[in-house]
Amino acid sequence: MLSTKNTTSKKLLIAESACDLFLETDINGTILFAEGDARLLNTVDVRMLVLSNLFQLINLPDLSKLQESFISLAPGQRASFDDMNFASDGRRITLQRSSTDITVYHLSFADLSQHTILENTQIDEHLVRAFRSSIASPELKVARQPIVCTQTGQIQHYEVLARFPFEGSPYPMIVAAEKRGIISELDCIMLDAVCQRLAESSATPLKLAVNISGQSIQRADIAAELIRIIRAYKFSRDQLILEITESSQMHDIETASNAVELLKKTGVKIVLDDFGAGAASFGYLRSLNVDGIKFDGCFLDGQRNNERNTALMRAISSMCHELGMSVVGERVENEDDQQTLLNAGVMLAQGYHFGKPQIDSSFFACRKTSRRVA
């Protein structure tokens, strides 16, 4: 029986035109909802798709890549696949894991004969414009997600996250901004907002963590601007944690190391985020005098009962504890994940199991003009 679920604006953002096909599935590929042109999935009637299995219906040269994406995508993240073997012009398959219900996946199928395919440079230009428009928008929001004690669930501090004025993952825009060398604009805006919030909350002390791109700390001028922002506000420096993200690889490790030392002299703590996601994590840990690490969610996501991952986290956690460093495990979605971190000696945790990011309207209440320091 065809689902009677109404089309939402979120679906219209994913689907490119009226002739596209939109699906919702679970992690096993069972189709929960379908609308559009069923021929894009080799089926005559869209009603026949509901309760069928996507992986059995779809004919892809490398189906395993799509199946792996179901496991590896974080909430809100998106992946696209071009199937040029389909019909004469091919089709584009876009998969996105829901950010509100992580058990649901959205898929759109687009007939490429109906679409203009942009060159990579054009796509990057579009994403850069969208990035700059988003960070200048009054609709840019801030969300807080708790980091808790793994044993007790007691909140230790919050991570502050940018929420862009649109639905879906901002990851492609972030990557484009890093390629263009302008990600520091967002770093400075977010750090300024966090410092202002900390200065205003002296009566009820907060402890906040904010992301700083690995690209930003490789530039002496950006590091100086980050320090200037911190010093412009009065708050207890132990309330602020800077999480250096590894989405952008650090090539000038000497400049980055100097920046870390200068930032630490202000009294703030510095954590290496996304640990284990890239090949250079151990090199960064050796070269950067950070105060802690945050294990990337890949150590838990889709890795139930993975003894190797648990053993790696246990060994690294033990080393960090010996060095007096904090350790956080992220993407904790259930009690099994929590227990895995406990077994590995990871004493801090973050994830939907303990709390989803919640918009904090007190940020940007009196927003100043965004800085452009890049």
Q: Where are the domains of the chain?
A: 9-114, 122-359
SS3 for 8? coil
Confidence (pLDDT) at 46 = 86
Class of domain 122-359: alpha beta
Tell me the two tokens of residue 16: 């490119």
Helix spans in 236-355 (H): 253-264, 281-287, 307-322, 335-343
Cα–Cα distance for residue pair 146/357, rounded to 1 Å: 8
The whole-number mean pLDDT for each consecutive block of 10 residues of the chain, a chain of 374 residues, reads 37 45 91 87 85 87 83 86 78 86 88 62 79 89 95 95 80 84 94 94 85 92 96 95 82 91 96 81 87 91 71 93 94 92 94 93 69 44
**313: phi then psi, degrees, rounded to nearest 5:** -65, -40
* Residues 348, 202, 353: CA angle, nearest 5 degrees: 25
**96: phi then psi, degrees, rounded to nearest 5:** -140, 130
CATH of domain 9-114: 3.30.450.20
Cα–Cα distance for residue pair 5/99, rounded to 1 Å: 19
SS3 for 287? helix
User: How would you write 150-191 as a 3-class SS string?
Assistant: CCCCCEEEEEEEEECCCCCCCHHHHHHHHHHCCHHHHHHHHH
Contact between 15 and 22 under an 8 Å Cβ cutoff? The reply is: yes
Closest CA to 199 of 224, 227, 230: 230
Q: Which helix (H) or strand (E) holds 176?
A: helix 171-180
Single pTM value for the model: 0.68
